[in-house]
Structure 1
Amino acid sequence: MNSEQLLDFALDKVDDMKARDVVKLDVREVSTVTDYLIVCSGNSKRHVQSIADNVAKAARHAGEEPLGQEGQDVGEWVLVDLGEVVVHVMQDQTRSLYDLEKLWG
């Protein structure tokens, strides 16, 4: 998949799990690490973990092995690195604290 297809794929997978306040950020102009960031919220620790797990499992099933997954055990902020797309799933308090949309936007 190219980066736009991977972005659409990941957006679909977070939507499948009813992620809230989904924001996609095009960071190609400011990052050499990734092309897009997806930032979304879950209602609880378990919801955050489930959203991230769904993205990672679906990516593997589609032949796109995640480069990494961090924070799954804590569930405050789980990051799924798909290379050209990085998915951040956060609880509301953590999302407000780090404000990635402002940092990268």
Structure 2
Amino acid sequence: TMGTRLKVLSVFKKLHRTRVDVFKDDTRALTAARFKINEEFKKNKNETSEENIEKMIKMGSDVEAVLRETVLQVEHVEENKLLLRPRDGLLLENVPYCDEPRKKS
């Protein structure tokens, strides 16, 4: 249906926008992610089962959320130094790493 087609297109566009944001300035990652997104959509372009298409739309949305919320971009700046390149909405709570479990307050 036309509604389903629009949902598929919407997820496709959102994945590509997120790809550009998440892998900014990283040509290799941008290219690999573009190839993978396009390949997955092409592979399933002849799917006719509404149920399967809905499942794939959900999966595409889940993948987009994982990319947006959990992928960190880190730059190697010195031999033993990494620089985190933050993005809006990525780290909502910045807690220093500690081997000990956090005490409940």
Flag whether TM exceeds 0.5 (same fold): no
Tell me which protein shows more strand as a share of its residues: 1
Taking structure 1 as the reference length, the TM-score comes to: 0.29
Taking structure 2 as the reference length, the TM-score comes to: 0.29
Structure whose alpha-carbon radius of gyration is higher: 2
